[in-house]
Amino acid sequence: MTKTLLKVSGLKVAYGGIQAVKGVDFEVHEGELVSLIGSNGAGKTTTMKAITGSLPLNDGDIEYLGKSIRGQGPWDLVRQGLAMVPEGRGVFTRMTILENLHMGAYIRDDKAGISADIDKMFTIFSRLKERRDQLAGTMSGGEQQMLAMARALMSRPKVLLLDEPSMGLSPIMVDKIFEVVQDVFAQGVTVLLVEQNASRALAIANRGYVMDSGLITMTGNGKEMLNDPQVRAAYLGE
C-alpha cells in the first residue's frame, strides 16, 4: 500500500483579510511527483506557506508522516524532512554559493556527508560549481533558482516543496529547471510542485490537482489531465 507522506484536510487560510484558501483537501504519497496548478491568485502559494508553517491556518489540518504538523514552524519541519523552495527563491544574497549550501545543511553535523552532498549538488547543478565563490546576489534569476533548490536538498528532505520554480525565467532556463526537478525526483525525493506553467508541470507529474479561487476543482493522473479538454481550455490556452 502506498504510504501517504503529506495529507491536507479542510485547509482554510485567510491572507491579508481575504479568505484565500477555502477548504482544500489533497495528498502526496511517497515516491510521487504531484503538481498543483491554477491561475495566478488561485491560492497555491498560500497553501504552500500554510503547509510549511509560514502562515497560520484558520481551519483544517496538515499531516506529515501521519502526524499533525499544524502550528509548527519551517525550521521544525526541515528537521523532519519537509523542505520548501519558496517563490522568489530567497537565497542569501550576500553569501557565496558555497556558503548558501552550507546554510542548507545547518541541521546536520556529519561533515563528510555534507561535503559529499555539496559535491553531489555541483554535479546536478554544474553551473553552480563554476561559480562556487560568487556572491549569490550577483547571479541570474535562473542560477539563483538552482541555488535555492540545491540549498533545500542539502537538508536531505523526504518531501521537497517547490513554489513556482520557473517564474520569470528564460525559456532555456525553464527547460533546465524542469530537467533538474525530474533528476531530483528520480533520485527518490517526493516532490510537490506548484507551477503556473501547467503543461510542463502536468507532463512530469504522477498526479495533478487544479486549484481555482481557493478550492481544488479537479484531480487526476498528470498525463490524462494534460489531455483533458477542460484543463487545456482553462490553463493551456487552447
Residue 238 has pLDDT above 60, yes or no: no
In a domain, 24, yes or no: no
| pLDDT, tens digit (0-9, with 9 covering 90-100), for 79-93 | 999 999 988 778 999
What's the domain range around 85? 33-45+73-235
Q: Check which CATH number belongs to the domain holding 115 and give it.
A: 3.40.50.300
Arithmetic mean of pLDDT over the chain = 93
In a domain, 68, yes or no: no
Contacts of 16 by beta carbon, 8 Å cutoff, 6+ apart: none
* pLDDT value of position 45: 93
Instruction: Count CB-CB contacts under 10 A for residue 232.
Output: 15
In a domain, 160, yes or no: yes
In a domain, 105, yes or no: yes
In a domain, 19, yes or no: no
Asked if 175 and 197 touch (Cβ cutoff 8 Å), the reply is no
| pLDDT, tens digit (0-9, with 9 covering 90-100), for 14-39 | 977 889 999 999 999 999 999 999 98
Q: Rg for the chain (alpha carbons), in Å? A: 17
β-strand 190-194 against 33-37: which pairing, if any? parallel
Q: Whose grid coordinates read 533546465?
A: 176
User: 114, 181, 113, 182: which is closest to 146 by C-alpha?
Assistant: 181
Question: Please, which pLDDT band fits residue 1 given cuts at 50, 70 and 90?
Answer: low
In a domain, 205, yes or no: yes
Model pTM score: 0.94
In a domain, 3, yes or no: no
Asked if 135 and 93 touch (Cβ cutoff 8 Å), the reply is yes
In a domain, 120, yes or no: yes
| pLDDT, tens digit (0-9, with 9 covering 90-100), for 61-77 | 999 999 999 989 888 99
| pLDDT, tens digit (0-9, with 9 covering 90-100), for 86-121 | 887 789 999 999 999 999 999 999 999 999 999 999
Domain total in the chain: 1
| pLDDT, tens digit (0-9, with 9 covering 90-100), for 141-199 | 999 999 999 999 999 999 999 999 999 899 999 999 999 999 999 999 999 999 988 99
User: 116, 184, 193: which is closest to 150 by C-alpha?
Assistant: 184
